Amino acid sequence: MLIKPKISFISLSIVVSGVTMFAPAFLALLNDDHQTSQTFFYQGLLIALIGSFLGIATLNQGSKPSLRRDMIELTIIFLVLPIFFALPLYTLVNEFDALDSYFEAISCFTTTGATLIENYVGEVPPAIHLWRALVGWMGGLVMWVTAATIIQHFGFNYFYSAQSIGVEDNDDSDRGELSFEEQPLYRKFSILLPYYLVLTLIFWIGLYILGSSGLNALVFAMSSLSTSGIVGETAFFESASGIWGEILVVLLLLFGITRLLIFYWWYKPVFRDFYQDSEIRLASKIVFLVLIGALLYDWQLLIQQYNEESILLIIQNCWGVIFTVISFLTTTGFESTYWFASSDTQIEGFPHLVLLTLVIIGGGVATNSGGIKLLRLKILFENVSKEMFHLLYPSGVQRKKSWSLRNIESGWDEAWLIFTMFFITVVVLLLCLVIIGLDFNSALTVSLAVITTTGPLVDTVLGETFSFDQLGNVSKVVISLGMIVGRLEIILIMFFLGRDAWRGY
């Protein structure tokens, strides 16, 4: 009987991190930047060897896969891997010290996208931009593995019954569970990697055909799929791919709205499942409401300039709102070229409040997006509606809907706990930043951006009045810890929600 070796996922991640450094090394070589190429190549080779030796030392060690073991291993990965990711940044970016390099690596790997090099974009080599996008891309893949681990142990609809996405309870054996049950982390990684890689390559080619440069197209494709919001040498709204490129990016951002797309090959959803998916429905309602509000917010200027061009302007405004809402709802942070296209001055007030609200809501559960998540808010809203009905009509019988009351009650405790912990974490981080010396407005924006892993939110809302590069070392440490907590929300919550679910694991 052939014995399959058991590989430590930590060692595998280190090896993959080292091998990935060969990509920016090759790009630097094409640009005749031999120093950058050698730095990435030799550091990548060293890191790959370290991971290989660690893998050989821990080969076939460990017990049967369990949620506790997997969650601890994934948490260690988010703490340790950024140290390796920071090495090229520390070596090649002259303005960076060790803390700056680790801050940048943490920001990328947690798919936050906050950066210290925005003031040095023209001074750093293109390989650095590619490396930052690759780190965020790998962070998104690790979160897919994390979601698969949660689903493996608790079923596809652990918190929320299958009826919330249109699937009957009695069909779980075929549609509600993943087929790779009891697989270790490295096996789930090997299963998800080709799917993740193929999607990136397809959309990279698509963006390149639509006019973006090869580097920018690759960076935007990786940033959209991982929801990191990382950009290269140019901002996204300056991309040469235009509106068709934005449409292509929206298709990638849908992976941050619903888990049905991420686990498509195992779950095998049909069109009815997407139509009845509560997260897609709620996201559509949010987009529609913000679109109406945006048109009302800008209606005076549109009427004053009413002509044939204003009709095109209205269409551009509508698309700009749709794209930007989806982008910030998935906590990516890309702005459309047509976001409030009719305004000649810096947008203030209503748009900023909308963006802050969107990142708090967040995308879908078991996706790369941050925030509270759509389905949890759906459960909270439905439960509040049920309680209000009972208060108004104590003897009334509420009509049973497709979203059954049993499903609402089963997910209420978990959704409320996550909702509460989210705001407690934001308030704690806010107070820490205020004590350190940030003004309240900046501290609030940074706290929401960090906990929701939406780094571009800071630049969009605060503009040139704030820069991460101006922060002191204490602030950078606090924000780095906040980014880890914000990204590991799903893991930490599982520890707190153990109770009966932990028995036997």
- pLDDT tens digits, one per residue of 382-407: 777 777 877 877 776 666 554 444 44
- pLDDT tens digits, one per residue of 402-423: 444 444 455 667 778 788 888 8
- pLDDT tens digits, one per residue of 335-368: 888 876 544 444 445 678 888 999 999 888 888 8
Interval 117-145 mean pLDDT: 86
d(CA 431, CA 412): 29
Interval 218-229 mean pLDDT: 93
Interval 200-220 mean pLDDT: 92
How buried is residue 194: exposed, middle or buried, by Cβ count under 10 Å (0-12/13-18/19+)?
A: exposed
**Residues near 36 by Cβ (< 8 Å), separated by ≥ 6?**
24, 25, 28, 92, 125, 127, 128
**Taking all residues of the chain, what is their mean pLDDT, rounded to a whole number?**
80
Q: How many CA atoms lie within 13 A of 171 on its CB side?
A: 10
Of the ranges 42-51, 151-160, 453-462, which one carries the lowest mean pLDDT score? Answer: 151-160
Dihedral sign for Cα atoms in the order 326, 492, 435, 419: positive
d(CA 327, CA 322): 9
What tokens were used for 120?
């040095």
More confident call, 60 vs 342: 60
Residue 497: is its pLDDT beyond 60?
no
Ramachandran class of 165: left when φ > 0, alpha when ψ lies in -120 to 50, beta otherwise: alpha
- pLDDT tens digits, one per residue of 460-486: 888 888 888 888 899 999 999 999 988
pLDDT of residue 72: 79
Q: Residue ranges per domain, the chain? A: 279-361, 374-396+403-498
Residue 130: is its pLDDT beyond 60?
yes
d(CA 144, CA 449): 21
Interval 189-202 mean pLDDT: 91
Report the share of the chain in percent with pLDDT over 90.
36
Residue 285: is its pLDDT beyond 70?
yes
Residue 172: is its pLDDT beyond 70?
no
**Residues near 262 by Cβ (< 8 Å), separated by ≥ 6?**
144, 147, 255, 366, 367
Residue 103: is its pLDDT beyond 80?
yes
Question: Residue 488: pLDDT band by 50, 70, 90 thresholds?
Answer: confident
pLDDT of residue 58: 79
More confident call, 320 vs 155: 320
More confident call, 378 vs 197: 197
Residue 378: is its pLDDT beyond 90?
no
